[in-house]
Copies of this chain bind each other. A is one copy, B any other.
Amino acid sequence: MKAEPVKDEDESKGRRLKGGDAQKLTMAEVAKYVGVSAMTVSRAFRQDASVSEETRKRIMEAVDALGYVLDLSAGSLSSRRSGFIAALVPSINNSNFSDTARGITDALENTGLQLLLGYTDYSAEKEEKLIEAMLRRRPEGIILTGGSHTDRARRMLDKAGIPVVETWEIPEEPINHVVGFSNSEAMSLLVRTLASQGYRRFGYIGGTTARDTRGSQRRSGFLKTVEELGLGPGRAISFGVPPITMEQGGQAVMSLLERWPDTEVVLCVSDLSAFGAIMECKRRGMRVPRDIAIAGFGDYEISSICHPSITTINVDCYGIGRQAAVRLLDALQAGGEATGDEITLTGYRVVLRESTDRGAR
């Protein structure tokens, strides 16, 4: 029984050029086509529901033939499960955070959950707006970057009654779950490692304001440790609005060296600014690490490739995302069973490379 080709003479002008004829195709119509109830079609779309193999096959053939696409917005209303997970990162142009986003997406694969991604541009106000926008979609869980949020954001999150995971740092007052590490201690470790290699006069480059909380934690970790080692006071330059760019890294290292010409090693808030600093030094004829040693933070791809390769702190960006998603999934699985609000510490390690190589001096 084939459908007869219909001559639609009068349909050609005022209409859209697209195959919009199926726009209102609904589950009920698929059901009618197959000769079952809509409920059975609905069940056929889920693997666990009990539908005989034969019925499911017929339904799926019809779905294929008609070109039906499930409508989740209708489904989520009645099932009261949106199928969304929301995640907010400061920036998607930063490969550290896009790695985290990738980790989340990958962990969500085959769970039937979809990621709603937003970027806050390092602003708590924008984060607040985004949280509200996200909550309007009734996500089943939400992943945030960092632990500093506006009061209203905290209230909204609390009221939403969904699991929250804060990532990339250890907030003083966690909302719920945490997957991250101490940026301050990580930077401290880097300082101590370099100090143990004989470096004494430490400089630091980072952004100015407090917008980037991870950045300021790294800075305070630096200052504290330099002090503790009796090498203080630390020589810290603030340059530009976070996130500090490669170019600003170059400018910053120059003003640092102008102010403290005998600096031996410069630590940067991220590999990106470290890269900018190194390139600027080379451009000016300085040798790295012979004349000045430079280290970064984050272990971006660039740092192992760059010549000289850049000493840095490796952070498990992808793993942070992946684990954050897994914790969320666990919490959802547990349902209301109040899983303990645990803190999952993720690893980091110093990666020593050419840019701080003592032997090359």
Contact = CB atoms under 8 A, between A and B. Distances in A.
A151 interface: no
A137 B283 CA distance: 51
Contact residues on A (Cβ < 8 Å of other chain), bracket: 35 or more
A155 interface: yes
A2 interface: no
A160 interface: yes
A349 interface: no
Nearest to A68: B159
A115 B116 CA distance: 8
B136 A72 contact: yes
B276 A18 contact: no
A81 to B, nearest CB: 10
Given A246-B301, A250-B305, A73 B77 contact: yes
Interface in A160-211: 160-162, 176
Contacts of A155: 67
A328 to B, nearest CB: 14
Contact of A95 (B73, B95, B158): B95
Interface of A: 15-20, 22-23, 67, 69-74, 76-77, 82, 92-93, 95, 98-99, 101-102, 105, 114-117, 119, 132-133, 135-138, 155-156, 158-162, 176, 245-247, 250, 275-276, 279, 282-283, 301-302, 304-307, 336, 338, 341
